[in-house]
């Protein structure tokens, strides 16, 4: 338990780490506005000019002026770096040159439009990721951002304007910002600027006025931006207060806190706090402190109702364990910068003492005492029973145990009395009371103190076996025994209560730690839900059903773990999903339902619903409900993390697909244009009457036509083969062939122009079970590759060898060889070595690999040692030749 005024060490450490990280990075300044046209870029350039005049090195990375003359004038004197050009879909797109910025290393770099999405092929998918890398390098960044591009506010903006925002930045980016400067103008002034052509020009301005730039929309966006900026400032202030370890809050803004207990009068306190918070337009907190008192079912139910009421009225709920209520209230008030605390007027003196202590220790916080009505007779009976339940324990069993223990102590003391004396025996009874204080509640403690005193007096204090005490000193000792015994028992009980609270905290922390560890190892949403179901079943002995929203942010009746749910349960889940609040059993909404619906909320959206089916005979305690809520929060965060990973992977695959698509189009268009151009030229020439009368020219043109058609056919065959390999439609028609015969057949089909192919059989009569046509196609591509990369008149050697259970086919060329770092890339689709000769789309070796692997083989390449060149090795499995085939 923390002492009064002592900050939470975990929060303090987190804030110090955050400050340490910021100190290592460049400063980050965001010029923030409600929408385009408010003057963010102009303000950013103005701030940059101020820094430039005092000698700072300013670099303009990206600034979008949109043709505004006054904005363009603000660029005068600043250094602009050329943007990097990226080719995408036959268009040239200019992007931020991050490498140039890191090379120049200015003091400040200006980067406009933080939420911009980079063109495919860029280092990062988003511009804000470029900014993070620049900040990590120690370079300061000035940037601009609109409120609709904040991830948690995008849905709200879409609901207001009906316009879907596709480019967003995560809210966590705000934690990196050292300064957020709000650029604010009235909606009327902004609309006037739009009409004057100072925001957009031409048709774009007309479209903006008809859609986004409506006064009602702009008013709403302005409020959202103002509130979001205020939250950022408030969050930063609380961080500074944690580091400074102040003994009192800073009253920069009113913040209320109401103490909630199991008293029926707490509902009135909560409503009063809501009214005061509404009048002050201030946030408010409802806090419950569990000080170890055991509540009866009536009080537990009342406490849950009070907590639900506070949540429905918009309070931030805080529940914690602490035996010192005053210290806990004061600590939370300091951490949350609370300015006003709301309490009920106490009726008992003990609570009045507690109130006085709170007033003394919160000198800089206003405390409001709300009048309470007196309890009815029925309510008093329930309240008295509630106190007695904790004080005297249900049933006589603890009193019998106490009596047996005192009897045992008496028996031991009777034999020790001759050696120790009756006064020392009193200390033995005093220790017995302390032991009972550690083991029992208030009733047994009082019983043991009075019973122990009477037994000591009757049996041991002279005159024995009477209650008379002759010596004044012994009378004082008896009175002291009684007082010290009661006090020691109370202190022991308080120590035990603190120990119990610490154990509860540790158990909850251990449960959440194990759950987070399990969640971190889950590789799918199904696995996460199974883990959550298993843990909740073990902790609460209650089943759950989980609904996950789809890509369109809709949920269906089909659960992720147990199938469909009933219509009533689905209606309950829909209400909870739409309103982002718990509903059903033990809540104030649809409370007659069999189950409780709890939304899985992450910043900005609801990912799904958990339907919790409790045992109706048992109500959840406040601790159990808090634990269940914590599990829901952790499950939601884990699902969001997994979804973000999947989205990142999908984006990466999409980028790769776009890259391959573009490469394929470029390669095919180039490869098909060359033979088509030759074909068109030859056909045009054949129409010439002079050519028609010359048989030699006709033969030459026919040869060129045939070569061009063969080249075109080769390209098309490669594309079709690659399509069959990728789709899995390629089926092998295996038959037994002699490898040497297949190779000789391939060599006979190749038109050699200056090259020579030599076949060496290191093992004779090597038979292979394969698809002969596909194997010929693979070898053909391999030979064509060797010819293309070897000089004229070179020799290409083919070796056949059988080694134990493998058949090796080596193709050796006399080319320039392959760089070692490129050997693993040459079998990738569309990959061509730098400086490769014209011709081919980079599919030949990839097709060879696909065909070889379809035969359960492997192919690899390495450079020759004896001379310059490359060796391609195909390894295929060797099988025993069938008997009948071997006899032929």
What is the average pLDDT across 620-639? 78
- On the question of pLDDT at 712 being above 50, the answer is yes
Neighbours of 507 (CB within 10 A): 12
What is the average pLDDT across 480-491? 72
Identify the pLDDT of residue 302: 80
Q: Tell me the β-bridge partners of 583.
A: 597
User: What is the number of residues in the chain?
Assistant: 888
CA distances from 140 to 17, 43, 131, 178, 371 (A): 20, 17, 9, 10, 56
Q: How many helices, marked H, and strands, marked E, lie in the chain?
A: 28, 24
Distance (Å, whole) CA 564 – CA 570: 9
Distance (Å, whole) CA 29 – CA 180: 6
| Dihedral of alpha carbons 130, 136, 140, 142, sign | positive
Residue 862, helix vs strand vs coil: strand
Q: What is the mean pLDDT of the chain?
A: 76
Distance (Å, whole) CA 47 – CA 730: 64
Identify the pLDDT of residue 2: 38
- On the question of pLDDT at 382 being above 50, the answer is no
Per DSSP bridges, beta strands 583-584 and 596-602 are: antiparallel
Dihedral pair phi/psi, residue 263, rounded to 5° = -70, 140
Per DSSP bridges, beta strands 605-612 and 544-548 are: antiparallel
pLDDT tens-digit readout, 264-281 = 788 888 888 888 888 877
| Confidence class for position 16, pLDDT limits 50, 70, 90 | very low
- Tokens 């200390």 belong to residue: 427
pLDDT tens-digit readout, 386-407 = 444 444 444 577 777 778 888 8
Q: Give the residue, 21 or 98, on which the prediction is more confident.
A: 98
Distance (Å, whole) CA 198 – CA 178: 30
Identify the pLDDT of residue 6: 46
Pull the structure tokens for residue 91: 């268009």
Q: What share of the chain is helix, strand, coil (3-state, %, to 5)?
A: 55, 15, 30
- Tokens 């910068």 belong to residue: 337
Task: Show Cβ contacts of residue 796 under 8 Å, excluding neighbours closer than 6 positions.
Answer: 755, 756, 757, 758, 783, 786, 787, 790, 811, 812, 813, 814
How far does Cα 551 stand from its chain's mean position? 17
Pull the structure tokens for residue 400: 């019998």
- Tokens 């309950």 belong to residue: 572
- On the question of pLDDT at 776 being above 50, the answer is yes
- How wide is the angle at C-alpha 571 spanned by C-alphas 567 and 573, nearest 5°? 115
Neighbours of 486 (CB within 10 A): 19
- On the question of pLDDT at 759 being above 60, the answer is yes
Distance (Å, whole) CA 804 – CA 878: 8
Pull the structure tokens for residue 112: 């406009």
Q: For 822-847, give one letter per residue: b (16+ CB within 10 A) or e.
A: eeeebbebbebeeeeeeebbbbbbbb
Identify the pLDDT of residue 638: 82
Pull the structure tokens for residue 879: 């099988």
Q: Which of 325-339, 367-381, 435-449, 666-680 has the highest mean pLDDT?
A: 325-339
pLDDT tens-digit readout, 140-191 = 999 999 888 888 777 777 777 777 777 888 877 877 888 888 888 888 888 8
Distance (Å, whole) CA 789 – CA 143: 51
pLDDT tens-digit readout, 28-60 = 999 998 888 888 888 999 999 999 889 889 999
Closest CA to 116 of 161, 146, 91, 89: 146
pLDDT tens-digit readout, 515-553 = 767 777 777 888 888 888 887 777 777 888 888 888 777
How far does Cα 463 stand from its chain's mean position? 77
Query: Whole-prediction pTM value?
Result: 0.45
- How would you class 877 by CB atoms within 10 Å of its CB: exposed for 0-12, middle for 13-18, buried for 19 or more? middle
| CB 64 within 8 Å of CB 41 | yes
| Confidence class for position 669, pLDDT limits 50, 70, 90 | low
Identify the pLDDT of residue 830: 66
- How wide is the angle at C-alpha 664 spanned by C-alphas 662 and 670, nearest 5°? 105
- On the question of pLDDT at 224 being above 70, the answer is yes
pLDDT tens-digit readout, 553-608 = 788 878 877 767 888 888 888 888 888 888 888 777 777 788 888 888 877 678 88
Please, what is the angle between helix 325-335 and helix 349-361, to 10°?
30
| CB 876 within 8 Å of CB 857 | yes
| Dihedral of alpha carbons 444, 450, 455, 456, sign | positive
- How would you class 722 by CB atoms within 10 Å of its CB: exposed for 0-12, middle for 13-18, buried for 19 or more? buried
């Amino acid at each position: 338990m923390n002492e009064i005024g002592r900050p939470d060490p975990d929060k303090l450490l987190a804030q110090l780490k955050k400050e340490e990280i910021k100190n290592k990075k460049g400063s980050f300044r965001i010029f923030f506005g409600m929408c385009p046209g408010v003057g963010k870029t102009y303000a950013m350039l103005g701030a940059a000019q101020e820094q430039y005049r005092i000698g700072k090195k300013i670099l303009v990375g990206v600034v979008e002026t949109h043709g505004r003359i006054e904005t363009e004038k603000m660029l005068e004197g600043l250094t602009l770096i050329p943007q990097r050009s990226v080719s995408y879909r036959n268009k040239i797109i200019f992007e931020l040159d991050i490498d140039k910025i890191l090379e120049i290393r200015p003091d400040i770099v200006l980067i406009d439009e933080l939420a911009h999405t980079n063109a495919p092929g860029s280092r990062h998918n988003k511009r804000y990721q470029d900014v993070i890398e620049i900040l990590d390098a120690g370079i300061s960044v000035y940037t601009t951002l609109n409120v609709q591009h904040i991830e948690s506010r995008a849905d709200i903006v879409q609901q207001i304007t009906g316009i879907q925002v596709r480019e967003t930045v995560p809210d966590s980016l705000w934690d990196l910002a050292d300064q957020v400067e709000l650029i604010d103008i009235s909606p009327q002034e902004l609309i006037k600027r739009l009409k004057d052509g100072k925001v957009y020009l031409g048709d774009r301005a007309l479209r903006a006025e008809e859609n986004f730039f409506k006064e009602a929309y702009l008013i709403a966006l302005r409020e959202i931006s103002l509130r979001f900026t205020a939250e950022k400032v408030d969050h930063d202030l609380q961080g500074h207060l944690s580091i400074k370890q102040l003994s009192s809050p800073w009253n920069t803004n009113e913040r209320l806190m109401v103490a909630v207990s199991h008293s029926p009068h707490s509902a009135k306190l909560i409503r009063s706090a809501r009214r005061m918070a509404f009048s002050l337009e201030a946030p408010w907190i409802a806090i419950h402190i569990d000080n170890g008192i055991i509540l009866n079912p009536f009080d537990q139910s009342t406490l849950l109702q009070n907590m639900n009421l506070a949540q429905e009225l918009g309070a931030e709920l805080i529940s914690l364990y602490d035996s010192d209520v005053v210290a806990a209230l004061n600590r939370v008030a300091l951490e949350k910068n609370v300015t006003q605390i709301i309490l009920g007027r106490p009726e008992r003196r003990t609570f009045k003492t507690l109130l006085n202590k709170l007033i003394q220790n919160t000198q800089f916080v206003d405390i409001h005492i709300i009048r309470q009505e007196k309890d009815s007779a029925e309510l008093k009976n329930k309240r008295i029973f509630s106190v007695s339940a904790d004080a005297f324990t249900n049933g006589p069993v603890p009193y019998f145990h106490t009596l047996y223990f005192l009897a045992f102590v008496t028996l031991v003391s009777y034999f020790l009395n001759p050696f120790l004396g009756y006064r020392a025996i009193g200390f033995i009874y005093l220790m017995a009371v302390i032991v009972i204080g550690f083991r029992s509640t208030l009733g047994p403690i009082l019983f043991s103190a009075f019973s122990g005193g009477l037994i000591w007096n009757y049996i041991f204090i002279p005159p024995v076996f009477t209650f008379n005490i002759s010596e004044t000193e012994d009378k004082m000792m008896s009175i002291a025994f009684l007082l010290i015994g009661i006090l020691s028992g109370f202190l022991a009980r308080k120590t035990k209560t603190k120990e119990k609270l610490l154990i509860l905290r540790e158990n909850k922390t251990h449960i959440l730690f194990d759950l987070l560890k399990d969640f971190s190892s889950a590789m799918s949403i199904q696995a996460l839900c199974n883990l959550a179901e298993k843990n909740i079943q073990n902790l609460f002995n209650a089943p759950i059903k989980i609904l996950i929203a789809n890509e369109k942010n809709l949920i269906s009746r089909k659960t992720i773990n147990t199938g469909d749910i009933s219509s009533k349960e689905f209606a309950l889940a829909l209400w909870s999903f739409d309103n982002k609040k718990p509903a059903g059993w033990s809540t104030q909404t649809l409370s007659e339902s069999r189950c409780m619906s709890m939304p899985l909320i992450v910043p900005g959206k609801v990912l799904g619903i958990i339907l919790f089916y409790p045992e109706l005979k048992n109500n959840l305690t406040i601790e159990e409900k808090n634990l269940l809520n914590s599990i829901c929060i952790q499950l939601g965060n884990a699902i969001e993390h997994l979804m973000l990973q999947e989205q990142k992977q999908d984006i990466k695959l999409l980028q790769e697909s776009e890259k391959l698509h573009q490469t394929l189009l470029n390669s095919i268009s180039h490869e098909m244009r060359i033979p088509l151009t030759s074909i068109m030229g030859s056909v045009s020439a054949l129409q010439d009457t002079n050519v028609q009368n010359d048989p030699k020219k006709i033969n030459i043109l026919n040869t060129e036509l045939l070569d061009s058609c063969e080249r075109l056919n080769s390209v098309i065959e490669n594309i079709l083969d690659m399509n069959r390999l990728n789709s899995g439609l390629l089926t092998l028609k295996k038959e037994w062939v002699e490898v040497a015969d297949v190779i000789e057949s391939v060599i006979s089909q190749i038109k050699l122009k200056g090259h020579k192919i030599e076949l060496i059989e290191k093992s004779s009569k090597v038979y292979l079970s394969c698809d002969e046509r596909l194997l010929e196609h693979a070898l053909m591509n391999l030979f064509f590759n060797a010819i293309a990369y070897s000089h004229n008149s070179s020799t290409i050697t083919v070796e056949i060898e059988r080694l134990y259970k493998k058949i090796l086919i080596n193709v050796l060329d006399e080319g320039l060889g392959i760089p070692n770092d490129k050997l693993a890339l040459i079998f990738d689709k569309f990959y061509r070595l730098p400086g490769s000769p014209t011709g081919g789309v980079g599919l030949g070796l990839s097709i060879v690999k696909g065909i070889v692997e379809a035969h359960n083989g492997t192919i690899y390449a390495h450079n020759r040692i004896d001379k310059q060149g490359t060796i391609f090795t195909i390894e295929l499995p060797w099988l025993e030749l069938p008997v009948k085939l071997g006899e032929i």
